[in-house]
Amino acid sequence: MKMALLVLILPGLLTSAAQGNRSFYFLMGNELELVSRHVPAFSFPNLNNKVEHKVCLLLGSDEQPLLFLAKISTPVCADGECKLAHINVYWDLQGNYSGYEASNELPLTKHEHDPFLEEDYQKLHELLMNSNSILGRRSITELVDSKPANELRLPSGVDGVSSATKKEIKSVVIQGALYTSYTIWRLVHGEVVDKIKSYYQTHYASSLIENFLYAPYEAYQFAALRAMDSSHIMEHNNRIIALFKESKPLFRTYLFKKLPDNFLNNKEVTKEVYKSFSAIDINSKTLLIQYLNFANPAAVQILSSQIGQMSRNQLRSYLKFLSGDKTVVSKMTKDNLGRVADSEEYNHSYLVREFLALDDR
């Protein structure tokens, strides 16, 4: 597949709107530029007409899998009238929607065959990015109010169908293109997703961890981590620490729960991980405090300089840990506690004061 057009790179989101003779949206990096060939992978059925859509895998020159693609022509039906919609859809290697293109010669259309405008294409892309859309849990008969538009005293004629669109649906679909929005969303997020996952799993299981752990995409990192056991984690510890620092909270929490108990035995690893305390999210902070038992004692002192970042309960757990094992309280830790106790900035300094007062007895 040749990419004739330049794509516009926006921070964190690579996308390009209507350009030349097509509309093109893409969420990932330079994968499309690396494509050298595509191979047929599998097909999945269209629920409207039982036609099978063919999905192919796009490969790079080094035979690395890059993306999945389906060139889809699907009927979109409303009120007994059907028309074809043409769209090429990309998925990543985990079946997540990655982008689409539509040709201006065969544009997507709205009610009364009006072609999509640029903002309609943009809205379609946004809709497809939401895998949790309400469209996933509504059957086609549940999209519009059961009473016809005229009975609902809505203006008939232009956009009559969408006038009767249920309120919660209307806000997510493209105005005047209810069934197009619905049909395409269901195709993109339907059966194909599991098929992509299992295709990839079947053909690339042996290289999954290596391919995915170092990839810049969270969905891939998740898949890698899911496939890893303790020995893999120890093998890749630098990458694991890097991911711990830079990931989103959900991933970080998952990663932390996967760490083998001895991961933090090593002083340097403990330092690297605990030094990130101030930069990470609050739920992960809780986990770091909970894991003090497993960490190298260096962690205690590192955290003592970060108390100002702790919630009330986190501070309580930290102080409880200190009272359980006084030997871990170094001079510097004690000094840091003293400083926090005197602080007017920190909301919970009174707890440190209480702790130190008890300690003095």
**Residues found near other proteins in the complex (CB under 8 A):** 131-132, 134, 136-137, 193-194, 197, 222, 226, 248-250, 253-254, 257-258, 281-283, 286-287, 311-314, 317, 344-345, 347-348, 350-351
Report which residue type is found at 60: G
- CB of residue 261 vs other proteins: minimum separation in angstroms? 13
Which of residues 73 and 347 has its CB atom nearest to other proteins in the complex? 347
- CB of residue 248 vs other proteins: minimum separation in angstroms? 6
- CB of residue 286 vs other proteins: minimum separation in angstroms? 4
Element (H, E) at 97: strand 97-103
Which of residues 136 and 157 has its CB atom nearest to other proteins in the complex? 136
- CB of residue 249 vs other proteins: minimum separation in angstroms? 5
| Helices vs strands, H then E, count in the chain | 17, 8
Which of residues 211 and 311 has its CB atom nearest to other proteins in the complex? 311
How buried is residue 343: exposed, middle or buried, by Cβ count under 10 Å (0-12/13-18/19+)? middle
Which of residues 37 and 226 has its CB atom nearest to other proteins in the complex? 226
- CB of residue 138 vs other proteins: minimum separation in angstroms? 8
Alpha carbons 329 and 197: distance in angstroms, whole number: 49
Alpha carbons 288 and 265: distance in angstroms, whole number: 14
Name which of 6, 61, 67, 1 is nearest 31 in CA terms: 67
- CB of residue 218 vs other proteins: minimum separation in angstroms? 9
Which of residues 122 and 286 has its CB atom nearest to other proteins in the complex? 286
Which of residues 22 and 348 has its CB atom nearest to other proteins in the complex? 348
Alpha carbons 302 and 176: distance in angstroms, whole number: 58
Alpha carbons 281 and 283: distance in angstroms, whole number: 6
Dihedral in degrees, nearest 10, Cα atoms 111, 116, 117, 120: 90
Q: What is the number of residues in the chain?
A: 361
